[in-house]
Each structure stands twice: as structure tokens, then as C-alpha cells.
Chains A and B, each alone.
Chain A
């Protein structure tokens, strides 16, 4: 089995060798390591993508907006992912972004996962018909089987920043709170007088 350290180092060097700058290669090395740790085919997607673009010019966005196109070309997942991650605040502000035509979008996932961690919010990622939920760089859930998943190009990628809202109703919370309060001790007058640190006259 290849170690995480080996995966990061080889991915970084291969990305540089394919023509990307060192700073981008550093990002890719970390990302492929993370994808493999999450059980997603990072190495396989990277290898296929680098074969495609070695020595070829690739493109990222020149600015981040709600609608992003680079016709007639496709977006590079590395330049696009880096730009989105660098613009984390703007992505959070825009909330819903669409990218049209992006190569090997699986390679975009770790950038968006890190972006989710940066802004402290879950992000829903829609790659054509497949849906992914990225949770603060901790885990990925998807309606697709991620094992061995390779996508050469996506026509539409949608990024949707999820607001931090409760997944439960107030009624359920109240019920749970009631149960938790059974760890509390009922206060008698004597306890009120003797056990409170600040005392009763704390507005002196």
C-alpha cells in the first residue's frame, strides 16, 4: 500500500511535471492525499487528467461570479479550485455558483471541501446529475458510488453554500433538553444562599 506521504509527494511532482506551477502542485499534492484518505479515486483521476493536459495550456476563472464560463474551453479543476478557495469569502457571499464545463471535476472536490472548512459551512456540490455534500473537510457524502468514480468532464457544476441550520425541530430539541436537565440538582433556599459563587447580591 502506498503511504499518504508518497501519494502527496508523487502527486505534487507529477503535477509540476505536467506544466503546472509549484504552488498549484503543492495544493494538488495535499488534495490527492485527502481524496485517497476519504476513499475517492484521487490518484486515478489525477493520472488521467495529467495525461490529458501535459504540456497543454489550461484555464481557470479570471474572476469569481455566480455564472462562470470560459468558452470555448473547459475549466481546469486546479486553477478553478484554487481560485474558489482563495475567494472563500466571496463564494460564501454569492452562495450559489455555476461553472460551465470543467474537466475531471472529482479533482475539484478537495478544494471545495477545504473551502467548506474555511467558511464553516457545508457545501452542496452538483456535478451534472451527481450530488455531493461536503462537510468542513471532514467527510463527503454522495448519492453516487465514489469508489472508482472517474468523470472526464462535467457540463455543469453547481456550488451551493448551505446555511448553518438545525436539522431537527424545536420540539425535538426541547425534549432532549428536558432529559439533559435531569442531571441538575433542584435548588433549595439553603442551596441558593450557600452554593452560588456570586451570591445573591451580585449587583453591588
Chain B
């Protein structure tokens, strides 16, 4: 038996590696589909005018449980349409309601949901979102359908969605239910499952809306959007820096996500005899997935380089491994992994790691159940531990970052802050902009490095409680050190404030776990993605195959 271990956090938790992650069977939108495929989906209300403005309600039911998406489509002047977080109006606003809303609920939500951050919802609501049309594709699609024909496939393929969301909020924001109210429900045990439900239902609304508008424009000639085209439309999403602090602020959750991926890989590599059906499934998904890379469009030089590296990696893999492997050898997956680790870049390695999971429901499904976290359980600092213990924890878990020279201006070039006007995270140059005195505690590497220096000058036999009585300015860093001792994948092992920081690497990590594809960076600080492209339509859910993500136009 070869010596197969989890990959080291020092290797995996760097920004460049995390920024090379891809969707996988563990991703939340795929686990949402698996969990809800047997539920009953209905369109309960659809009161839109001929221009597509009005209210709609979709419900998802099983036994005595129901969730409802309440949609409000509004008229929006084209000059007011903006994906930026500073926008105050959108083409449509959505809320996920717990149960079936009454008329009073809908009236209440109508007053508040279109206002988003300045409105107020209640504990009866679970997730909140808004979205703007892709003007080009939306108008083209309605025109085509009203004229009795399907939209041009190339136009649709170029964009890949009719609407893109600009934010999806959950868990206690703007009056939404706190997670503790609903966390015991087994169907939503995976992270962000309600947000995934909201986006999936929004996708259905976009199809119903274009069909309705086309029919209103030309009742006799209009046709419905074909299932094949609809299936290959997802929901776009513009994502900014808000996601980056999330992964720093939720260390045990981050660990559980990454650990699940690493444990899946370890279990797969440990399979002694790979069955031929499983190897065929891997090859089938690999082949189909390559088609998606060809339709991956971006103007970003950064992303284009990454895509080119990936394409080259996959060519090398096909030519030098897939044409020359020995199927009957023991530990085939482990041998394959060792080969890609030696021969490919981080992009290629992580792409194939995702692909290796495809044949193994039995390994992946139990891991998905462990991807949430009870963070409060690990919050308290064990003050009785000794300073010498903490020094060892830092040496063992943060050795990568102890080498960084934080006295160098380049290594502290950036600072993270919350903007006053939108209460959203931002990152700016410390040496050029004002406000660094209000820096958010996201420079963990710098603060742990500072803590390490101070601990070395402290009596090692003293307790942490004694140390903290005069060093509370580093309390947040002390807490994290005791968390990483139990959760080794809880920390980014890199400098999050250096001049070389590419914030979208942090976004890509999170978005890959969402199941997003076709990352399209619009700068180093925000990007567009597509969710649910290729996903089964509501009427196809019951018979869906989990590899739908590789279906494309």
C-alpha cells in the first residue's frame, strides 16, 4: 500500500493554488440539485404585464415543508442599470420565503424587496437577491420568440444567461432569518443551500418571463424558448470583494470545505483496484468538460493566461498519460495523481482533481454533509495553555508566512476596509490612500508574524491567559492559532495584503465551491461567473444525471 496522505495545507492553502480551484461534485449548486431533485416545483402565481413587469411566486415542496421564491420585476431605465454594488434599482428583485406566502406577505415584501439593502424583510424570509438583464441576450431572445423563431445560438452562447444577479444575501442580513432558526433542517445541511435554491428558481423565472413577453407581443406567432436552449442558459453573477473577507472570517467553515476536497482525493487515491466503469466515467466527464473550455470567453489577460495554461496541461495529460496508462495496475488513481502533480501546473492539477471525484457518489455524498460548521464551538481561547504551546502551533502551521518580511513596504502594500457608503469590503493601497487606521482584521499572516515575535520575547512557561492580559491587541490572532491547530485548512497560507495580491484568487476559491464556472475577471477585484448553465430544467429534475454540468450548447 503506497503512503497516501492528505495534501499539506502549506501546499494547498496558497493564494495561487486556491485561485486554481474548479467546481466539483462537492460544489453547492450540484449538491442542491441532488438534494432537491425529488421535490415538487410549482409556479403558484404569475402576474406580469405585457412588458414583463409584475409579481411571480414559485414554490418547492416536499411533505410538510415548503419554500417559495417571490419575484418582483420592475421597469428600469437603461441609464439606471448597474451591476455595481452602489446601484439602487434593478430589473428584478427576489426573496426566498419560508413556506407559502400569504397575500399580506406578498404585499409586505413588495414594499421592501425591490429596495434591497434599504428595505427590511422578516424572519420568515431566508435569502434576498436582485438581478439585471443581459440586455443584449434578453431583448434578442424576446424578439426572436415573438417572431416565431428561437434565438440565435451564438448570441446566447456568448453570454450564457438572460439575467445576472449582483448580490445574494442570506443568514440574518436585512432582517432575514438567522441560520440558527433553520439549521436543523436536514435538506439544507449543506452550506449556501438556500442561496442555491434562490438562484435556481430565479433561472426558471427568467425563462417564464421571456416566454410571457414574447406571447404578449405576438400572441399568434410567438413560440416558447426551446428546452435545449433554456437548459444551457444559467444565471450570471457579478461578484466583488465581499466574498474575500468571508473566507477569512469563517476559518472552520473554510477548513471543512477544503478538507472535504482533500479527503475525497485521499480516499480516491487509496482505491486499490479501480473499476473500469469508474475509469470510463472519469474519461467521459473529462472529454465533455473540455468542450466548456472552448466556450469560456473572457477579456481578462490574467484569466486568458490561466485558460491557456489549462488547455496546454490537458493536452499534455491526454497525450502523455491517457494514451499510455496501464489500467490494471494497483492504485491507478494514485499513480495518475502523482503523475499530474509532477507534470502539470496548478490549473491542470486542480482541474483533474475535480474530475476524479465524478465516479464516486459513495465518497462524495457523506463529505457534503460535513461542509457546514458550528463556528461558535471553537471560538473560546484556551487560556490555560502555555506560551510554548502557542509558539509550537505557529511553527507547525504557519511556517510559510513566517518567512515574509512585513517590515518591507511591499509586503504591507494593501489594506482591507469597509466602505462607509455601502458597508462593503474594499481593498486599497496603504501607502497612497487614507483610512488604513480602520483596517479590517484580514491581514492574518502579518498579525500571526507579529504575534510570533512577541511570544518569543515572553516567558514560555506562562499561560496564554497571562500573555493576553497585556497583549489583547493580538487576541484575534491568538484565537486563529488555536483554531488552526484543530482545523489545518482553516487559513490562507499567504500574504493577503502584499503588493502581489490578486483578490480574485480569493473569490475564485469560494466561487468554485459554489459550483460557478467560466470565471470572467473584469478587473483584479471583481468578476462575472455563470451558475446552473447546463442544469436540468424543473420538469427534468427527477431524472437528472449529476454530470449535467458538462452538458453544453
Whether, in the assembled complex, A63 has its beta carbon less than 8 Å from a beta carbon of chain B, the answer is: yes
| Interface pair B172/A5, CB less than 8 Å apart | yes
Kindly list chain B residues whose C-beta atoms are within 8 Å of the C-beta of A27: 475
**The one of B171, B380, B418 that contacts A5, using a Cβ cutoff of 8 Å:** B171
Kindly list chain A residues whose C-beta atoms are within 8 Å of the C-beta of B407: none
| Interface pair B178/A21, CB less than 8 Å apart | no
Contacts A5-B178, A61-B469 given; does A82 touch B475 at CB 8 Å: yes
A112–B169 Cα distance when bound, in Å, is 34
Whether, in the assembled complex, B302 has its beta carbon less than 8 Å from a beta carbon of chain A, the answer is: no
- The interface bits of chain B over 430-471 (1 if a CB of A lies within 8 angstroms of the residue's CB, else 0) are 000000000001000000000000000000000111101110
A89–B382 Cα distance when bound, in Å, is 10
Kindly list chain A residues whose C-beta atoms are within 8 Å of the C-beta of B123: 1, 3
Contacts A82-B472, A87-B465 given; does A3 touch B176 at CB 8 Å: yes
Kindly list chain B residues whose C-beta atoms are within 8 Å of the C-beta of A38: none
Contacts A1-B123, A88-B383, A88-B384 given; does A6 touch B173 at CB 8 Å: yes
Contacts A22-B475, A23-B474, A26-B476 given; does A83 touch B178 at CB 8 Å: no
Kindly list chain B residues whose C-beta atoms are within 8 Å of the C-beta of A190: none
Whether, in the assembled complex, A95 has its beta carbon less than 8 Å from a beta carbon of chain B, the answer is: no
| Interface pair B472/A23, CB less than 8 Å apart | yes
**The one of A4, A60, A79, A86 that contacts B172, using a Cβ cutoff of 8 Å:** A4
| Interface pair B465/A86, CB less than 8 Å apart | yes
Kindly list chain B residues whose C-beta atoms are within 8 Å of the C-beta of A6: 172-173, 175
A21–B175 Cα distance when bound, in Å, is 28
A116–B384 Cα distance when bound, in Å, is 15
- The number of residues on chain A lying at the interface, defined by a beta carbon within 8 Å of a beta carbon of chain B, is 30
**The one of B173, B175, B177, B479 that contacts A23, using a Cβ cutoff of 8 Å:** B479
A4–B183 Cα distance when bound, in Å, is 14
| Interface pair B178/A86, CB less than 8 Å apart | no
- The interface bits of chain B over 469-493 (1 if a CB of A lies within 8 angstroms of the residue's CB, else 0) are 1101111111100000000000000
A66–B475 Cα distance when bound, in Å, is 25
Whether, in the assembled complex, A85 has its beta carbon less than 8 Å from a beta carbon of chain B, the answer is: yes
Q: How close is B469's CB to chain A, nearest CB, in angstroms? A: 5
Q: How close is A116's CB to chain B, nearest CB, in angstroms? A: 12
Kindly list chain A residues whose C-beta atoms are within 8 Å of the C-beta of B326: none
Which residues of B (375-411) have their CB < 8 Å from a CB of A? 376, 379-381, 383-384
Contacts A21-B473, A21-B476 given; does A86 touch B376 at CB 8 Å: no
Kindly list chain B residues whose C-beta atoms are within 8 Å of the C-beta of A26: 379, 475-476, 479
Contacts A86-B383, A88-B383, A114-B380 given; does A23 touch B478 at CB 8 Å: yes
Whether, in the assembled complex, A158 has its beta carbon less than 8 Å from a beta carbon of chain B, the answer is: no
Q: How close is A76's CB to chain B, nearest CB, in angstroms? A: 10
Q: How close is B454's CB to chain A, nearest CB, in angstroms? A: 13
With CB as the reference atom, state the residue of chain B lying closest to A87.
Answer: B465
| Interface pair B469/A85, CB less than 8 Å apart | no
Q: How close is B437's CB to chain A, nearest CB, in angstroms? A: 11
**The one of B380, B441, B464, B472 that contacts A79, using a Cβ cutoff of 8 Å:** B472
Task: Rank and list the top 8 A-B pairs by shortest CB-CB distance, nearest first.
Answer: A23-B475, A5-B172, A86-B383, A86-B465, A23-B476, A3-B172, A22-B441, A87-B465
Q: What are 29 contact pairs spanning A and B, CB under 8 A?
A: A1-B123, A3-B123, A3-B175, A3-B178, A4-B172, A5-B172, A13-B418, A21-B472, A21-B473, A21-B475, A23-B473, A26-B379, A26-B476, A60-B472, A62-B469, A62-B470, A63-B466, A63-B469, A64-B465, A79-B472, A83-B469, A85-B381, A86-B381, A86-B463, A87-B384, A87-B463, A88-B384, A89-B384, A114-B380
For the complex with contacts A1-B122, A2-B175, A79-B472, 8 further pairs of A-B residues with Cβ separation under 8 Å are A3-B177, A5-B171, A5-B173, A21-B474, A21-B475, A22-B475, A26-B476, A62-B470
Chain B interface residues toward A at CB < 8 A: 122-123, 171-173, 175-180, 376, 379-381, 383-384, 418, 441, 463-466, 468-470, 472-479
